[in-house]
A and B are shown apart, each in its own frame.
Chain A
Amino acid sequence: MRKPLLDIQDLTVEFATRHGTVTAVQRVDLQLHKGETLGIVGESGSGKSVTSYALLRILDRAGRIASGSIVFGGVDIGGATERTMGEMRGRELSMIFQNPRAALNPIRAVGRQIEDVMIQHGLATRGNARAKAIQTLEAVKIRDAEQRYHAYPFELSGGMCQRIVIAIALACRPQLLVADEPTTGLDVTTQKAVMDLIVELAAERQMATLLITHDLGLAASYCDRIVVMEKGKIVESATTEQLFARPRHPYTQRLMRATPRLDAQVSDLLPLDDSRRVIPSQRPAGPPLLEVEQLVKTFGKRDSADAVRAVDSLSFTVHEGESLGLVGESGCGKSTTSAMVMRLLDPTSGSLRFAGTDLATIPAKAFARHPLRSQLQMVFQDPTDSLNPRWSARRSIADPLMRLGKLSRQDRYRRVEELAERVGLPGELLDRFPHQLSGGQKARVGIARAIALNPRLLILDEPTAALDVSVQAVVLNLLVKLREELNMSYLFISHDLNVVRLLCDRVMVMQAGQIVEEGPTARLLSEPAHPYTRSLLEAIPHPPAMPATLPPPLKESA
């Protein structure tokens, strides 16, 4: 067998923390050949990113390679001098990151940032750097490259910023590209464009790619081989076909199960013997609860040329007991819509009839004290940022009860305990603060707070976007259960059609402030009529179907 380009043997990475040494990566072996794409898949805390930082030797101050060897193109990375590493980074091995806008220097023109790398590695001189940087921008398919050269990151979209990061990484034609969650946080169509670009450039240059992701579907679509990591260890390593045909390790199986697929129901995401599984029942929709008519929101001066119609003549109805999905990419106006329904923003025009009352006539400021306020609640996208860091979980859940409820102190205490039980939050966690809770636990606190006043309509703004898939599976099942038990209606906002499929009876697809298509979920996703819906559906990377002969009922590994 030919010698691998990258050979990691027995790698262990440790971090010195206040509570002693923590092993983030434990005895990891990896081989990667020229031109090959290897996926590292795992959930948060699996050590997948730390492995890549060790590979470039850009670990934090507290981290160190405790043992093992990393050999790249014949060079021992662990033993190389900082000078050698400086020459290799960016030139032989490059890296692109999650959150592309933050990954760029905010006050330096993007062209200059590309130049810096090229000049540093001797691929350009001060004289020709600009021309070469523009060439590089063209290589990552940025239109009007000459003008974009002068742009600052804040002037570019997320997808554009990621292209710039790719341009910086590939400017010097490295042999290995490490992509650490390169498309997390980007829209699906942008994700597809960015991934296709990476694949195309890699093929053109015979470059090896290490794709680090939490998304099995993405790994399945783009990788030759996949390794699955859990808690710092590699639990399974196989070619993509093999892995999906015969997943051997229980963790891999659990991960595959939890990833939303075309054919799955919400209960399929959890193992058969999991008590949290919920099989949704078909329920007839009741009378209209929320009727939105001709809703418009304009930002900027009215009638002026640069006024933006963020939401443009939107009309829809949410029936009692119904779950309506609102799907669209960033900037389509879905968050503006939810903010108006929640009466956090005043609409420019239009009506919002909720349970017979037109909410649009009540100013946003006065709505906080309106009797209908308790009937409308919201679960936010970021479970961490939407909790007050100085409040315990108990205080957070009790907050709406204290403001809008009329319960005695003791009743309130009991109500919070009851809510915690309902959302599956162990009672002993109630006195913890957000930083002491996991992502899934924080999401539960957010949900318990939202249902505290028995709302009739719950607005869910990407409630699982920040969660690992296995946690997402549990939270989605919980949401289905709560809706049935409490007879709530959902307005579910998401960019992920696979998740919407699991939770919604009807879906609306929104583009540039308007609804382009609407219909029952099953019909809309199987026979999309509008080209935009079709492009959204096509852009989603799908994991292969679950093998029919999956080993006997899966047990969660303890």
Chain B
Amino acid sequence: MTHLARSRLVGWRLLQAIPVIVGIIIVSFLLTRALPGDPAAYFAGPAADAASIEQIRVSMGLDRPLPVQFVAYVQDLVRGDLGISISTGQPVMHELTTRLPASLELTGVALLFSIAIAMPLGILAATRPNSWVDHLCRAVVTAGVSLPTFFTGLALIYVFYYLLGWSPSPMGRLDFLHLSPPKVTGFYVIDALLARDLETARAALAQLLLPAITLGLFTLAPIARMTRAAMLQILEGEFIRTARAAGLPRRQVLFTYALRNAILPVITTLGMVFSFALGANVLVEKVFSWPGIGSYAVEALVVSDYAAVQGFVLTMALLFVTLNLIIDVIYTLVDPRLGLEE
């Protein structure tokens, strides 16, 4: 395929994301309006009477018809204003921009850890089916997925913090001895490195390790299983036999020929695991007091803090769209067969 055709295809995929985003904005708006509980009553406090609740309702614009509210909502969105959280009094936008990087950092490192273990394990298991590596792969994967994250997290804390004392106290992104680095990306490790503050970077990384491993253990299973299955299937393929018959070395057959073909379903799995882990790491965040987006959303939901919930839903949805877009683009770049049907 020519480069032109490819970039057209990528452009087309980008265009396809637009209606999805519009849909998300509408749904997130409607969804929060459907939440039980009255935000005006909550905001007014327990002592307020009906008149003052009504007054607050008017000042929040909640008495206006839905379409009008929606237009106002979209106008605010365009200005980057997601409203004010009624439980913390902070702008939602501000809270999300500090909490989202924390979650992304945690999930990202967890996934890297997971890939680093699961993919080699899956490849080894596929090249030697029913050997001890294969059985090890199966055992690790089963253990990882069957232990709940809060349990693994607590066990790791018990061993590495309480018994061995190797890791710092599980209290958030940095211990009190360090100041958070100047914000560039929001990822503490990277920001600290950018600021050439090795000490803080090391401390941030130390805080990050245990929760990342906890989450990573949980995501091992799908990645390892998918790698193994895809590799097994590809290695049976006739073009692998051709490559062997042509005398290509084992390493090249395995990586250049087999793995590049097997990587496609693995990439899909990675995308799904990432989005799933990002939403589901509330338990890990709670155990390690990690100021992430998951725990923020749960707290907001409990008190009907609709601006915060709306902001969270919107952010996650946009994140998923971006992620899927990235996976689509990677697919298009890896597999020349795609896009023929257009």
Contacts and interface: CB of A to CB of B under 8 A. Distances in A.
B11 interface: no
A168 interface: yes
B326 interface: no
A201 interface: no
Interface stretch (B195-203, B296-304, B334-342): B334-342
Given A102-B238, A103-B239, A152-B337, A108 B248 contact: no
Contacts of A99: 238
Interface string A74-117: 00000000000111111100110101001111111100000011
B178 interface: no
Contacts of B244: 58, 89
Contact of A102 (B239, B243, B261): B239
A203 B249 CA distance: 29
A547 B244 CA distance: 43
B337 A106 contact: yes
B246 interface: yes
A19 B246 CA distance: 33
B247 interface: yes
A107 B334 contact: yes
Contact of A107 (B243, B247, B252, B337): B337
B261 A105 contact: yes
A85 B246 CA distance: 10
A379 interface: no
A180 to B, nearest CB: 10
Nearest to B263: A107
A353 to B, nearest CB: 35
A127 B4 CA distance: 27
A121 B247 contact: yes
Interface in A104-154: 104-109, 116-117, 120-121, 152, 154
Nearest to A152: B336
Contact of B256 (A91, A104, A116, A154): A116
Contacts of A108: 256-257, 260
A340 interface: no
Nearest to A87: B247
Interface in B41-98: none
B235 to A, nearest CB: 10
Q: Which of B241, B337, B340 is most buried by chain A, counting CB atoms within 10 A of its CB?
A: B241
Contact of B246 (A90, A102, A152, A154): A90
B245 A56 contact: yes
A168 B246 contact: yes
A40 B336 CA distance: 38
B243 A105 contact: yes
A341 interface: no
B182 interface: no
Nearest to B237: A102
A165 B245 CA distance: 11
Contact of B238 (A97, A152, A168): A97
A464 B322 CA distance: 51
Interface string A339-362: 000000000000000000000000
B247 A105 contact: no
Given A89-B246, A90-B246, A107 B241 contact: no
Nearest to A86: B247
B142 interface: no
Contact of A168 (B1, B242, B249, B340): B242
B255 to A, nearest CB: 12
7 contacts: A89-B244, A90-B245, A103-B238, A106-B337, A120-B249, A152-B336, A152-B337
Which 7 residue pairs spanning A and B have beta carbons closest together? A90-B247, A89-B247, A90-B246, A95-B245, A102-B238, A103-B242, A117-B246
